[in-house]
Structure 1
Amino acid sequence: MKRTLAQLAEMCGGTLTDVAAYGDVGIEGVFTDSRKPVPGSLFIPLVGERFDGHEFVQTCVEKGAAGTLWQKDHGTAPQGAVIIVEDTLVALQELASSYLKENKASIVGITGSNGKTTTKDIVDAVLSTTFKVHKTQGNFNNHIGMPLTVLSMEPDTEIVILEMGMSGRGEIEELSVIAQPDVAIITNIGESHLLQLGSRLEIARAKVEIAAGMKPGGLLIYNGDEPLINQVLAEAATKMPEGLQRYTFGLQTDNDDYPTGIMNAQSGVAFTTKQSGEVALTMPLLGTHNVVNCLAALAVARHFGVAAEQIVAGLSHLKLTGMRIEIINGVSGLTMLNDAYNASPTSMKAAVDVLEGLKGYRIKVAVLGDMLELGPQEHELHRGIGEYITPDKMNMVLAYGPLSASIAEGARQNMPAEAVHTFESKEELTRYLLENLHSRDVVLFKASRGMKLEDVVEALKIAPLQNRVD
């Protein structure tokens, strides 16, 4: 983003303290982290419960910031290139909203309980074959991260893809109002945030908030297998734009698009869909759930007129954000499926299904860790994962963490007792894997991010296996 300080003051509804001296000063972006000042950019000092960016304004200016915002209730502003605002966070969001309106790029918003980031990456892969695309990086999907994503967008961007996350009601509506999407995707409704929201219906209401800020006539693409979405869309309290178009995807044949054939392989999946006809699509992702995610991306691509051959090419070169069923080979030859970024009952069952579909391995092992923030039903939901596991899906279950003891409890209903083990430490778990696995085995790692199962994956990547069984 390149603007003058005078332009930025107008965009965010602030007042530049000295227009004559600083109005024409050029700004080449914004930043909020005082530890990483960006010369030539505007510093936005945010205020939180345990921090206040205003304390670091002078330091940032000394290190090259071309200007700063200043919140009115923080007393007398310092001398220099300062824009006075009522609230620095609101000003950041206003800057993002104004920049999007000036830029004229089309906006795709994505939310859902599971699959947001994977779907974002697939949408990016197919759209980038035809358009200049800007997308959310990392976890910049909240009320601070999304505006920063927008403001880092190049001026000639044609489509911006914005992931929208939340922890409670009202948050996605806020993001949608800022972004005003032309197209929005709801990937699914799962159990994440049950602790905060209490029920899947409330989670559905929170996700459907993405429609609140959409442009009139916008396209809402959503998982038609989930009846709660249609239920919420029919509620009188649900906010949506005039002329909202709807498009459904999923496994059921009453959706606008659904898979007509799926073939999983070790390197990815090949599939056809109702809308693609006889054209076979392939992508380097595992699992039926990712085919469903792809259906949403295909709808976006067709909406923007991406040619069929470009869609095929984009999918074949898909690159994913890390730790979403990465296929990793250790030095010993062991195959690992690393899906340790997050977990909910829905995504954990999907990962188990992926493991079940793999062929050609000596044994298949699932290392399953705690799923966090599930609320009062957490033990019941963990036990349900265990009950979902059967000997035809895998050979062994290794449960890590206090909640995952319930996974082991459920798994013992269908699995032999010697095939189910629990662990309280990652060191103990790693040692067991090194002593019992073979180079011809495959291991799935799935847990919430807070369990840090990637530590075990990293250890297995470089350590030799101790099992010499042929």
Structure 2
Amino acid sequence: MKNMSLRQIADACGGQLYNAEDSLTKEATGVVMDSRLVEQDYIFIATVGERVDGHSFIQQVYEKGALAVICEKVPSEITGPYILVQNSFEALKAIAKWYRMQLDIKVIGITGSVGKTSTKEFISSVLAQKYNVLKTEGNYNNEVGMPLTILKLREEHELAVLEMGISDFGEMHRLSEIAKPDFCVITNIGQCHLENLGSRKGILKAKSEIFDFMNKQGHICLNGDDDMLATIEDVNGIKPVRFGLGIENTVYATDVKSKGLFGSTCIIHTDSSTFQAEIPLPGDHMILNALAATCVGRILQLSDEQIAAGIASVPSVSGRSNILRLNKITIIDDCYNANPVSMKAAIDLLKLAYTRKVAILGDMFELGKNEVNLHYEIGTYAALSGIDVLICVGSLSENMFQSAQNANSIKELLYFKTRDELMNELPKLLHNNDTILVKASHSMGFERIVTQLTELGQS
């Protein structure tokens, strides 16, 4: 890792280096917080978690060849170098900030209320047609995950595509200071984290903190169809490039043809060209993701052919509109998270199925004082969407159930107070060839429903 000697790491995080007289200038080969991932000459950052204290693994990581540990407590057995800090999480961020500045690499930062992960996948897939790209893995998009991703960068990487997620004011400011993005991509401003951010206006303000430390010669790519993002006209002299379905955008789509759950095709227009795109993932929001990727790709001088190839080869992501086609049923696994915007998009996706359509919807969290009304709104939306079966799960989702009941336009409507109550009854509720949407906030644990459905569908 470039310029990552023990002395430089200690200076970067403001820690006190001990027992390192013979290895002050030795460079680390990696930085991790999970002791299981330690390899030769890695730095292990010991943190105190809710269930596990990383300090208890210090001796093990030395035995695995760790160059040093960063810790908040003096190790009980000192068999190698260690850097003593007040707060290991703050040390992680400080080290990542330092390391980012050592690399001549462009960073694409992606944020928004909905679609960050799928947009990251589209942009990464497109840029990989020309560049060596490192992208955020899984849900590593917060003040712990993003620094760890940055610390995976190596000199051979040419671009980093970083997902940047927040739930409160100030978080994006801190993420931007670490990432120092050259590109800022915002997907939309929806209704999520309202408990802390208050309103869509508050969400826009919090997301806009991504601009605080961006490259002054950088680029901004915004969803031009979003009414809140449309209010951003200039950021420190940088004019946004806009993408969307409307022809007023710089990058837009026409001739959209749905292939149901098999994706869609369209003609993508840029400021100087048009080309055919095959989008393998279903839903209109995936078209927007492809347009965002086109926006970034054109700025980075990819050809239309390279952009089209990247769009066509984008992978699906578990828990995020991932289509599982099994022997007896088809599952739309969208259980990673949920808010009103993404919930409606998922219902719209289910509508594309040609079979009996079943929606298993659970509670949406962090919606603030309007949580009851927002669940009620989703129930009405689902009931009027044309799906066949709506199954509501969770205490907040009782409001969803009641509004769907009042709409009186759905063939079959069921309510379960808990996930486990539903799982006990689920085998009796399914028909062969059903298409089943599974969606709720992550803490509802709906991945267990997906696992059960997968077992039932393969039997």
TM-score (norm 2): 0.90
Give deviations 1:133-179, integer Å, cap 9, x for gaps.
00111111111211111111222100001111112100011011111
Per-residue CA shift, 1:33-53, capped at 9, x if unaligned? 346543421122335678764
1:282 counterpart letter in structure 2: E
- Which residue does the alignment assign to 2:154? 154
- Is the CA contact 2:318–2:333 (under 8 Å) kept in the aligned structure 1? no
Provide the rounded CA distance (Å) in 1 between the counterparts of 2:442 and 2:57.
31
Instruction: Look up the match of 1:346.
Output: 341
Superposition pairs for residues 61-210 of structure 1, below 5 Å? 61-70=62-71, 80-85=80-85, 87-210=87-210
Alignment partners' CA distance in 2, 1:465 and 1:211: 47
| Equivalent-residue separation in structure 2 for 1:228 and 1:42 (angstroms) | 43
Number of the residue aligned with 1:314: 310
Residues 263 and 16 of structure 1, relative CA distance in 2, 3 Å threshold: same
**Which stretch shows the higher mean deviation, 49-58 or 268-277?**
49-58
How many Å apart are 1:101 and its aligned residue? 2.1
For residue 413 of structure 1, report the CA deviation from its aligned partner.
Answer: 3.6
Give the 5 Å matches for 1:247-326.
Answer: 247-265=241-259, 266-275=261-270, 278-326=274-322
Residue aligning to 1:424:
417
Q: How does 1:336-415 map to 2 (within 5 A)?
A: 336-358=331-353, 360-361=354-355, 363-390=356-383, 393-415=386-408
- Which stretch shows the higher mean deviation, 124-133 or 245-254? 245-254
Distance 1:208 1:436, change over 3 A: same
CA distance, structure 2, for counterparts of residue 48 and residue 435 of structure 1: 41
Label 1:304 to 1:61 Cα distance change in 2 as closer, same or farther (>3 A). same
Q: In structure 2, what residue type is equivalent to 1:461?
A: T
One-letter code aligned to 1:368: L
| CA displacement 1:407-433 (0-9 Å, x = unmatched) | 122223434365222122445534655
How many residues end up aligned between the 2 structures?
456
Q: Which amino acid aligns with 1:273?
A: I
Q: Distance in 2 between matches of 1:19 and 1:430?
A: 55
**Structure 1: runs of 5+ lacking an equivalent:** 235-239
Displacement, 1:369? 1.2
Indicate the RMSD between aligned Cα atoms, in angstroms: 2.8
Give the equivalent residue in structure 2 for 1:244: 238
SS at match of 2:228: helix
Range moving further from structure 2, 53-62 or 188-197: 53-62
What is the DSSP-based 3-state SS (H/G/I as helix, E as strand, rest coil) of the residue aligned with 1:388? helix
Amino acid at match of 1:263: K
Q: For 1:461 and 1:50, how far apart are their aligned partners in 2?
A: 30
Provide the C-alpha distance between the structure 1 equivalents of 2:171 and 2:385, rounded to a whole number of angstroms: 42
**1:186-221: CA deviations, max 9, x gaps?**
111111101122222111111111011101021111
CA 1:257–1:453: 2 relative to 1, 3 Å: same
Distance 2:433 2:75 in 1: 66
For the structure 1 residues 95 and 245, does the alpha-carbon distance in structure 2 shift closer, same or farther, using more than 3 Å as the test? farther
Q: Distance in 2 between matches of 1:280 and 1:343?
A: 32
Tell me if the contact between 1:329 and 1:461 (Cα under 8 Å) persists in the aligned partners: no
Counting aligned pairs with the same residue, the percent is 37
Measure the CA separation in 2 of the matches of 1:287 and 1:155.
Answer: 37
Deviation at 1:92, TM superposition (A): 2.2
